[in-house]
């Protein structure tokens, strides 16, 4: 891989090796702020990185393509004379391996294959091949993992590694360059940040006057000007207590750590009593971005004052920023429009519900959990579930008793 990357002057690279699975996250953490993209030599380190979810940069891995496997099979056949039905394999999809055998005119079908997707411990792969070899079922192992080959050879197992081909590496590098161009284009998109604060929240009965409100407005304007300078933007007032900042997608993405945290209002020394609510809009034009920012602000206010939401140019909504539980949902997905017409629920509510269930990986939920995920009152969550149940879109499938003396909570299965 290194010899191929060296031929491309567009790239500067850092070569990182590891021997134990436990080292992967540690190595990634060390170099995380020094790279723009990650290229993994195979599916396993890529899977561990994806599971960790600590990387915000795009990630790629070089696939073990058919030609890589053909080269390894030819080597085994020509040099080792080992029957193909006495070889164990890992990683490949069963259909992919069978197709490779068929295209190579190998009469037998592969008997021993450990297929996996994502991360899998190296020890598990080594154990799979070793047990087959030790019991006499196989004479050799074919693996896609360098560390597995190393450990198997130490145990005496003839192990062959499927190496990535030069063409597969070149294809992956081309994809990285294309992704970089796309990201650069996105970073230059217009971003609008619409900020609203409650001028009355910090007033008391003794200080309530129009002069005090005016002082608060001036103070807030000064703070926002300081913040706007940090993101190379421009600020304009949009009425009492509302401001609009124009900047770029890239600068705002960097400020919010890829739209996961609240914009850095800490530099403004704002407190929770300032009740700052924020909507961020991304668009191809200033007009589109401003419309999206207004939509994001409305969604942020739906959650509660002080929230921040984002609406991207594809109408995807993300937020609330800075919360441990964020949801991503569509602005107006077509498949929910008919369900909205059947019920008294808006498309946005149904879309949020669908996103929450997708994130949880199940179709069952109770009112308490729904209220927490949506940042709404439990009675509002119960109303949503009851409405769905009355229209045949949800049914009670059980009860939960979180506390011995508390009321049982109905568990609803949602059918969207």
Convert the pLDDT of each residue in 388-400 to its tens digit. 999 889 999 888 7
Tokens at 89, concatenated: 């394999």
Return the pLDDT at 322: 82
Q: Which residue has the higher pLDDT, 115 or 151?
A: 151
Residue 61 has pLDDT above 50, yes or no: yes
Domain-terminating residue out of 327, 361, 389: 327
323 and 362 assigned to the same domain: no
Can you tell me the distance from the alpha carbon of 298 to that of 215, in angstroms, rounded to the nearest whole number? Answer: 26
Same domain for 213 and 277: yes
Do 47 and 85 belong together in one domain? no
- Reply yes or no on whether the pLDDT at 159 is more than 90: yes
Q: How confident is the model at residue 257 (pLDDT cuts 50, 70, 90)?
A: confident
343 and 370 fall within a common domain? yes
Portion of the chain with pLDDT greater than 90, in percent = 22
Q: Are residues 59 and 113 in the same domain?
A: no
Structure tokens at 178: 């294309």
Write the CATH number for 148.
3.40.50
Count: domains in the chain: 4
Residue 326 DSSP code? -
Count other Cβ atoms within 10 Å, centred on residue 12: 9
How high is the pLDDT of residue 272?
47
CB within 8 A of 350, min separation 6: which ones?
A: 336, 339, 340, 343, 416
Mark whether 173 and 205 lie in a shared domain: no
Q: How far apart are CA 273 and CA 220, in angstroms?
A: 13
Residues 217 and 88 in one domain: no
Chain segment 22-32, per-residue pLDDT in tens = 888 899 999 98
Average pLDDT of the segment spanning 262-266: 64
Residue that wins the pLDDT comparison between 245 and 373: 245
Q: How many CA atoms lie within 13 A of 322 on its CB side?
A: 14
Pairing mode of beta strands 394-400, 364-366: unpaired
Q: What pLDDT band is residue 94 in, cutting at 50, 70 and 90?
A: confident
The predicted pLDDT at position 303 comes to: 77
Based on the fold, state whether residues 59 and 74 are members of the same structural domain. Answer: no
Helix axes 367-374, 378-390, angle to 10 degrees: 120
Summary mean pLDDT of the chain:
83
Residue 320, preceding peptide bond in cis (omega within 30° of 0)? yes
Cβ atoms < 10 Å from Cβ of 272? 9
> How sure is the predictor about 141, in pLDDT bands with cuts at 50, 70 and 90?
very high
Q: What local confidence, expressed as pLDDT, does residue 20 receive?
A: 84
158 or 318: whose pLDDT is higher? Answer: 158
| Bridge partners of residue 112, in order along the sequence | 88
Q: Looking at residue 238, which CATH number applies to its domain? A: 3.30.70.270
β-pairing, 190-196 vs 242-248, is antiparallel
User: Contact, 156 vs 72, CB < 8 A?
Assistant: no
Q: Is the peptide bond before 211 cis (omega within 30 degrees of 0)?
A: no
Instruction: Give the bridge partners for 366, in sequence order.
Output: 411
CATH number of the domain that 390 lies in?
Answer: 1.10.10.10
The residue from 263, 293, 327 where one domain ends is 327
pLDDT at 404 over 70: no
Tell me the mean pLDDT in the region 16-24: 87
* Tokens found for residue 222: 């000064």
Q: What mean pLDDT comes out for the span 339-343?
A: 83
Tokens of 287: 């007009």
**Pair 35, 178 in one domain:** yes
Residue 149: per-residue pLDDT: 93
**End-of-domain residue from the set 123, 152, 184:** 184
Q: What is the largest CA-CA distance in the chain?
A: 94
| Global pTM value | 0.52
Rounded Cα distance, 213 and 113, in Å: 72
Please state the rounded mean pLDDT for residues 138-146: 91
Same-domain check for residues 280 and 301: yes
**Is there a single domain that holds both residue 310 and residue 392?**
no
211 and 290 inside one domain? yes
Give the end-to-end CA distance of the chain in Å, rounded to a whole number.
Answer: 46
Confidence of residue 69 (pLDDT cuts 50, 70, 90): confident
Instruction: Provide the 10 A C-beta neighbour count for residue 253.
Output: 21
The per-residue pLDDT for 269 is: 47
Chain segment 163-212, per-residue pLDDT in tens: 888 888 898 999 898 888 877 777 788 899 998 876 555 555 555 566 77
Domain that holds residue 254: 188-327
Q: How far apart are CA 352 and CA 117, in angstroms?
A: 29
Q: Measured in whole angstroms, how far is the alpha carbon of residue 88 from the centre of its chain?
A: 34
């Amino acid at each position: 891989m290194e010899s191929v990357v060296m031929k491309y002057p567009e790239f500067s690279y850092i070569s990182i090796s590891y021997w134990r699975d436990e080292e992967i996250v540690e190595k990634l953490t060390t170099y995380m702020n020094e790279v723009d993209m990650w290229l993994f030599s195979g599916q396993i380190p890529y899977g561990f990185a994806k599971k960790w979810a600590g990387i915000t940069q795009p990630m790629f891995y070089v696939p073990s393509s058919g030609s890589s496997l053909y080269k390894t099979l030819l080597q085994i056949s020509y040099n080792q004379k080992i029957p193909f039905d006495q070889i164990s394999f890992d990683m490949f999809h069963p259909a992919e391996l069978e197709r490779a055998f068929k295209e190579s005119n190998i009469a037998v079908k592969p008997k021993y294959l450990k297929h996996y997707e994502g991360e899998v411990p190296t020890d598990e792969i080594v154990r799979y091949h070793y047990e087959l070899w030790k019991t006499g079922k196989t004479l050799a192992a074919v693996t896609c993992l360098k560390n597995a080959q190393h450990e198997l050879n130490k145990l005496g197992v003839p192990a062959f590694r499927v190496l990535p081909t030069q063409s597969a590496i070149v294809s992956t590098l081309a994809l990285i360059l294309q992704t970089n161009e796309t990201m650069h284009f996105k970073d230059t998109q217009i971003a609008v940040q619409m900020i609203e604060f409650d001028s009355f929240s910090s007033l008391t009965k003794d200080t309530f006057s129009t002069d005090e409100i005016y002082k608060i407005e001036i103070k807030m304007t000064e703070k926002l000007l300081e913040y706007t300078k940090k993101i190379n933007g421009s600020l304009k007032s949009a009425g009492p207590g509302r401001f609009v900042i124009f900047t770029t997608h890239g600068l705002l993405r960097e400020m919010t750590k890829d739209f996961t945290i609240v914009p850095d209002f800490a530099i403004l020394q704002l407190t929770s009593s300032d009740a700052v609510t924020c909507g961020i809009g991304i668009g191809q034009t200033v007009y589109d971005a401003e419309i999206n920012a207004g939509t994001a602000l409305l969604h942020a206010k739906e959650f509660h004052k002080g929230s921040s939401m984002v609406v991207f140019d594809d109408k995807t909504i993300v937020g609330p920023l800075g919360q441990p539980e964020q949801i991503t949902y569509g602005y107006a997905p077509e498949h929910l429009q008919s369900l909205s017409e059947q019920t008294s629920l808006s498309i946005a509510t149904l879309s949020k519900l669908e996103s929450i269930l997708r994130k949880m990986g199940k179709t069952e939920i109770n009112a308490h959990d729904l209220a927490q995920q949506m940042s709404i009152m439990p009675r509002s969550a119960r109303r949503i579930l009851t409405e769905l149940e009355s229209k045949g879109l949800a049914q009670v499938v059980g009860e939960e008793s979180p506390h011995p003396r508390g009321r049982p909570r109905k568990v609803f299965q949602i059918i969207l």
